[in-house]
Amino acid sequence: MDCIKPKELSFKNKFDVFCRKYRHGFVLLYLLLYFPWFGWLERTVTNRFHIIHMAIDDAIPFVEYFIVPYLLWFVYITAAVVYFFFKNKKEYYRLCAFLFVGMTVFLIISTVYPNGHYLRPKEFAQESIFTDLVRMVYQADTPTNLFPSIHVYNSIGVNIAVWRCEEFRKKRVIRFGSLLLMFCIILSTVFLKQHSVFDVITGIVLSAFMYTIVYATALFHLEESPTAFERV
């Protein structure tokens, strides 16, 4: 009979416990589809596309300071997914469903209807660390594949999750801080000339539709029941 060392057995048990406890992380494998698809769109949709433009776009000034909330979007979305992953599995599933379905709709639209804009300023009135950051974003992200705006859509999705979360019911700073950041991120997309107002509107419309699917129907009303493992 093989002799198993106590430490080796203990490590295997802990690893098995970790995998079963956090098996809901498989949902994040969606990103293995999203990033290659989005990267392909960025490489292929360059100069032949349908122009997205509204008259109001020309009346909105370029304000480089909005680069701060625009970049905070990455922290905002990541922090929310990580928090719900560890703290609230039910809301984690709902948030991921909201985000990933909308992101897929965005990919499909961008694939069948290549789109872009010419709203970005050709030069900046002044140079600062903010314009340097804007320039970096412009170089990394082409002005194509615009609607619905994922910055807008995902920000709304995270804010909905925060406001619905029972753990945050009495934490007004977190709730209203999330709301303020969401609004600043939405504004940043147009003041940085990353998006047309049309992209913002379609992002809001899609988020309203997805809210009815994810939260207002029984489709994603998941009840957390402990597994046999969790009862031990």
- The number of helices, as runs of H, and strands, as runs of E, in the chain is 10, 2
User: What are the start-end ranges of the E strands in 120-186?
Assistant: none
Distances (CA, A) of 37 to 62, 70, 140, 155: 30, 22, 16, 21
pLDDT at 31: 93
Structure tokens at 192: 């940085």
- In this structure, are residues 102 and 207 in contact, taking their beta carbons and an 8 Å threshold? yes
Kindly give the confidence (pLDDT) of every residue in the chain, 232 residues in length, as a single tens digit, with 9 standing for 90 and above.
455 555 555 655 666 666 677 777 788 899 999 999 999 999 998 878 999 999 999 999 999 999 999 999 999 999 999 999 998 888 999 999 999 999 999 999 999 999 999 999 998 988 999 999 999 999 999 999 999 999 999 999 999 999 999 899 889 999 999 999 999 999 999 999 999 999 999 999 999 999 998 887 756 665 544 433 243 3
Cβ-based neighbour number of residue 105 at 10 Å: 16
pLDDT at 199: 97
The CA distance from 200 to 185, in Å, is: 11
Angle between helices 172-191 and 67-87 (to 10 degrees): 140
Q: How far is CA 130 from CA 26, 133, 144, 175, 189, in A?
A: 37, 5, 22, 28, 15
Of residues 189, 174, 33, the one with CA closest to residue 111: 33
Cα distances from 120 to residues 53, 62, 68, 102, 142, in angstroms, run 12, 8, 17, 25, 10
Looking at the DSSP assignment, which residues form a beta bridge with residue 50? Answer: 115
pLDDT in the model for residue 230: 40
Measured N-to-C along each axis, helices 197-214 and 89-112 cross at an angle, to the nearest 10 degrees, of 140
CA 135 – CA 141 distance, rounded (Å): 10
pTM of this prediction? Answer: 0.86
CA dist., res. 186 & res. 171, Å (int): 23
By CB atoms closer than 10 A (0-12, 13-18, 19+), residue 74 is exposed
Whether the CB-CB separation of 185 and 194 falls below 8 Å is answered with no
User: What pLDDT, on the 0 to 100 scale, is given for residue 118?
Assistant: 93
